[in-house]
């Protein structure tokens, strides 16, 4: 593969991740109308891990072993798949899908912060610090606006999304630091199947699983999230992570809220408070201030061949 071809594939992969992750918020929200949250995401992960395992066997991929690999798997299971996704699904019961995506847009800010402590070559500069502060101010504006708009019933959902975002930020940086030797399919298989088992166990313990209604909305939601939202996008994501800096890949958060807001408005007729759009703008400005200069220097060359 030539350098130019790989750059083109990186751009295609980046665009795919942006669109798919923007649409997954809508798919999750639709599925939650029929299936409890932990059960929905647990089934999604078990089905997706089955597909990943078939890929592993077909391509004869290895699953890395040893203390270093086991520590990374533990981080993926707890900080990327089980707890964060459980929080995302649970939290979306209380808030619109578009609001979830806007809150998750703060993801790059946490990546910048954790990269400073974990990745030797990605230290916090003055601009990055200013960007983090502006982004945090944006999250505050979102919280205050939505609480005023819809009341305290939206607070649990917003807090769940924020905690999930922080955990995912830690995971991305850890994978960037310690997962360079692992194949993305094998790495995702281990995290996803273990996360699925944990979430299904939690579902049978705390959820009324007998109320699940496996209608077209539930099946369609889980099928889309399994094949496209889990297998395709996560493999693409970790493939990109080996070819891009962690904070640059986190720029997907610029695009996904736009996709999610458009889809939520068109399909679910969702509405958000004016402060939410102001806060979302501040978050995106913060991301740009923190990362924009480096992003331009390193990757604008792709367009020039």
pLDDT, position 296: 52
Per-residue pLDDT at 274: 85
| Helices 252-268 + 274-299 axis angle, to 10 | 140
pTM of the predicted structure, to 2 decimals: 0.83
**pLDDT value at residue 302:** 41
The confidence score (pLDDT) of residue 293 equals: 58
pLDDT tens track, the chain, 305 positions: 677 777 788 888 888 888 898 899 999 999 999 999 999 999 999 999 999 999 999 989 989 888 888 989 999 999 999 999 999 999 999 999 989 988 888 887 888 888 888 887 777 778 888 888 888 888 888 888 777 777 778 899 999 999 999 999 999 888 888 877 788 888 889 999 999 999 999 999 999 999 999 999 999 999 999 999 888 887 788 788 777 766 677 677 778 888 888 888 889 888 888 888 888 888 888 877 876 555 555 544 444 44
Measured distance CA(198)–CA(303) in Å, rounded: 43
Q: Computed from CA positions of residues 93, 98, 102, 104, in that sequence, does the dihedral angle turn out positive or negative?
A: positive
Q: What is the DSSP letter of 232?
A: I
Do residues 38 and 207 make contact, with C-beta atoms less than 8 angstroms apart? yes
**Which is it for the CA torsion 8, 9, 12, 15, positive or negative?**
negative
Q: What is the pLDDT of residue 299?
A: 47
Contact (Cβ atoms closer than 8 angstroms) between residue 234 and residue 188 = yes
Rounded-to-integer distance, Cα 108 and Cα 290, Å: 9
pLDDT at 288: 77
Q: Any idea what the Cα angle at residue 206 is, between residues 202 and 209, rounded to 5°?
A: 90
Angstrom distances, CA of residue 78 to CA of 19, 68, 193, 199: 26, 16, 12, 11
- Phi, psi for 96 (deg, rounded to 5): -65, 155
Angle at 249 between CA 272 and CA 142, to 5 degrees: 20
What are the residues whose beta carbons fall under 8 Å from the beta carbon of 98, sequence distance 6 or more? 25, 257, 260, 261, 263, 264, 265, 270, 272
Angle at which helix 216-224 crosses helix 37-59, to 10 degrees, equals 40
pLDDT of 305 reads 45
Q: What are the start-end ranges of the H helices in the chain?
A: 3-31, 37-59, 67-76, 83-91, 97-104, 107-118, 126-150, 155-178, 184-206, 216-224, 233-241, 246-249, 252-268, 274-299
| Contacts (Cβ under 8 Å, ≥6 apart) of 294 | 245, 247, 248
Q: What is the CA radius of gyration of the chain?
A: 19
pLDDT of residue 152: 79
Contact 164, 100 (CB under 8 A): no
pLDDT for the residue 21: 86
186 close to 65: Cβ distance less than 8 angstroms: no
pLDDT of residue 236: 86
Exposure class string for 215-231: b at 16+ Cβ within 10 A, else e: eebbeebbebbbebbbb
Are 76 and 175 a contacting pair, CB within 8 Å? yes
């Amino acid at each position: 593969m030539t350098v130019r071809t790989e750059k083109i594939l990186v751009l295609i992969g980046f665009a795919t991740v942006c669109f798919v992750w923007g649409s997954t918020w809508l798919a999750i929200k639709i599925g939650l109308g029929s299936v409890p949250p932990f059960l929905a995401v647990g089934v999604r992960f078990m089905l997706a891990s089955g597909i990943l395992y078939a890929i592993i066997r077909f391509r004869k991929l290895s699953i890395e072993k040893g203390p270093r690999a086991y520590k990374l798997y533990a981080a993926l299971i707890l900080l990327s798949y089980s707890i964060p996704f459980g929080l995302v699904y649970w939290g979306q019961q209380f808030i619109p899908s578009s609001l979830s995506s806007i809150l998750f847009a703060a993801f790059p800010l946490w990546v910048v912060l954790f990269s400073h402590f974990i990745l030797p070559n990605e230290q916090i500069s003055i601009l990055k610090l200013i960007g983090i502060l502006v982004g945090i101010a944006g999250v505050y504006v979102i919280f205050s606006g939505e609480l005023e708009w819809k009341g305290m019933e939206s607070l649990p959902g917003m807090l769940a999304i924020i905690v999930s975002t922080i955990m995912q930020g830690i995971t991305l940086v850890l994978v960037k630091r310690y997962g360079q030797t692992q194949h993305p399919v094998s790495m995702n298989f281990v995290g996803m199947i273990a996360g699925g088992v944990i979430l299904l166990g939690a579902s049978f313990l705390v959820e009324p699983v007998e109320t699940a209604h496996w209608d077209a909305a539930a099946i369609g939601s889980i099928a889309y999230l399994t094949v496209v939202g889990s297998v395709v996008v996560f493999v693409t994501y970790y493939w990109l992570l080996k070819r891009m800096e962690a904070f640059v890949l986190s720029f997907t958060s610029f695009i996904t809220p736009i996709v999610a807001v458009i889809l939520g408005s068109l399909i679910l007729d969702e509405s958000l408070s004016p402060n939410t759009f102001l806060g979302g703008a501040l978050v995106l400005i913060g991301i740009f201030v923190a990362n924009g200069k480096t992003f331009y220097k390193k990757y604008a060359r792709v367009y020039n061949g």
